[in-house]
Amino acid sequence: MKAAVYKTYGPADVVRIETREKPGPAATELLVRVKATTVTTADWRLRASAFPGGMWLPGRLMTGLFKPRNQVLGVEFAGVVEETGAQVTGFHLGDRVFGFAGHGAHAEYLTIDETAAVAPIPAGLDAAEATALPFGAVSALVFLRDTARIKPGQDALIIGASGNVGIYAVQIAKAMGATVTAVASAGNHAMLRELGADEVIDYRAEDPVSGGRRYDVIFETVGVIKFGAARKALKNNGLFVPLNFSILDALQGLWSQFRGGRKMLISVNGDKREDLDSLAEMITAGTLKPVIDTVLPLERIRDAYRYVEGRHRKGSVVIEVAKRAKLALAG
Nearer to ligand NAP, 94 or 211 (CB): 211
Of residues 252-311, those binding ligand NAP (CB under 6 A): 268-269, 311
Smallest gap, in angstroms, from Cβ of residue 299 to ligand NAP? 23
- Residue 209 vs residues 51, 120, 146, 212: alpha-carbon distances, Å: 26, 40, 24, 7
Measured CA to CA, the distance from residue 11 to residue 19 in angstroms comes to: 21
- Of the candidates 68, 95, 71, 70, the one whose C-alpha atom is nearest the C-alpha of residue 82 is 95
Q: Any contact of residue 181 with ligand NAP (CB under 6 A)?
A: no
Q: Which of 37, 111, 221, 278 binds ligand NAP (CB under 6 A)?
A: 221
Kindly tell me which of 109 and 215 has the beta carbon lying closer to ligand NAP: 215
List 195, 222, 283, 295, residue binding ligand NAP (CB under 6 A): 222
**How many whole angstroms separate alpha carbon 285 and alpha carbon 226?**
35
- Strand segments (E) across 267-322: 292-297, 316-320
Q: Which is nearer to ligand NAP, 197 or 329 (CB)?
A: 197
- Compute the distance between CA of residue 167 and CA of residue 135 in angstroms, rounded to an integer: 12
Q: Which of 188, 209, 265, 320 binds ligand NAP (CB under 6 A)?
A: 188
Task: Compute φ and ψ for 96, nearest 5 degrees.
Answer: -85, 120
Q: Which of 250, 276, 239 is nearest to 155 (CA)?
A: 239
Q: Do residues 129 and 113 touch, judged by C-beta distance below 8 A?
A: no
Judged by CB under 6 A, does residue 158 bind ligand NAP? no
Q: Using only C-alpha atoms, what is the Rg of the chain?
A: 20
- Smallest gap, in angstroms, from Cβ of residue 80 to ligand NAP? 26
- Encoded one letter per residue, x for contact with ligand NAP by CB under 6 A and - for no contact, window 100-139 reads ---------------------------------------x
| Contacts of residue 101, Cβ cutoff 8 Å, sequence gap at least 6 | 74, 75, 76, 77, 110, 112
Q: Which is nearer to ligand NAP, 19 or 210 (CB)?
A: 210
In the complex, the smallest distance separating the C-beta of residue 327 from ligand NAP, rounded to whole angstroms, is 26
Indicate the residue among 63 and 221 with the shorter CB distance to ligand NAP: 221
Q: Using DSSP, state whether 131 is helix, strand or coil.
A: helix
Can residue 219 be called a binding residue for ligand NAP (CB under 6 A)? no
By CB under 6 A, name the one of 71, 164, 171, 256 that touches ligand NAP.
Answer: 164
- Which parts of this chain interact with ligand NAP (CB under 6 A)? 40-42, 45, 139, 159-166, 184-185, 188, 203, 221-224, 243-244, 268-269, 311-313
